[in-house]
Amino acid sequence: MIVAIHQPQYLPWLGYFDKIIKADAFCYLDNVQYKKNEWQNRNRIKTDQGRQWLTVPVLYRFPQKINEVKINNTVNWKRKHLQAMITNYSKAPFFLEYIGFFEEVYSKDWELISELNVYLIDRMREMLNIQEKQTVLASTLSLSDDPTDRLIDICKALGGDTYLSGQDGARYMNLERFKANGIEVIVQNFIHPEYPQLFGDFASHLSIVDLLFNCGPETLERIKA
């Protein structure tokens, strides 16, 4: 029983979904400290000028947790993000198949960044046909405050005997404590695929929206390749 754990990110990259695919159960780590200028409120798409950030403005006050951070809706970020997708992907092969989804998302009112992120990821799991995976919000569980023990507690809560760590995660964990609790640690080994894109040379490590618009039904197989 493999468990993966990750902070909810905004329109995540392919490696995020690879982790979900490889796990039997996935936990949104929404009750740890929010980190500015990372991936919890922004990601990148490809344009004819290169990579472009799509950033959700937030009203963050240190040391708020991710699930406490509100979106700054005095800024018309939803219109900006939708227009960026229309401008840069209208000529992509599967634009018409997916733009309606984003129109629906950006027509809703969102108060918390974590709620927006989890909604987007869950809906994209449906698009990839991996919606049957067991998922849970860390904030709904009783967990230790210690970073390693928190992960162990989540694994136990989900019935996991194996923890799927990110590629750098093993550096920051007490592996002996996992072993003492009967949990094996394996490390994600994701190799980023190349796929057809608009605008010249291939650019990697973009939001999954780039792959969806360009490859449509092949998205899952491209991630798993």
Q: Phi first, then psi: give them for residue 178, nearest 5 degrees.
A: -60, -45
Alpha carbons 62 and 34: distance in angstroms, whole number: 8
Alpha carbons 191 and 176: distance in angstroms, whole number: 28
DSSP single-letter state for residue 34:
-
Owner of token pair 């694994």: 155
Helices 208-215, 113-127: crossing angle, 10 deg rounding: 30
**pLDDT at residue 79, rounded to an integer:** 98
**pLDDT at residue 4, rounded to an integer:** 98
Query: What are the pLDDT tens digits along the chain (225 aa)?
Result: 999 999 999 999 999 999 999 999 999 999 999 999 899 999 999 999 999 999 999 999 999 999 999 999 999 999 999 999 999 999 999 999 999 999 999 999 999 999 999 999 999 999 999 988 999 999 999 999 999 999 999 999 999 999 999 988 877 889 999 999 999 999 999 999 999 999 999 999 999 999 999 999 999 999 997
In this prediction the pTM is 0.96
Q: Phi first, then psi: give them for residue 115, nearest 5 degrees.
A: -65, -45
Cα angle 36, 26, 183; round to 5: 105
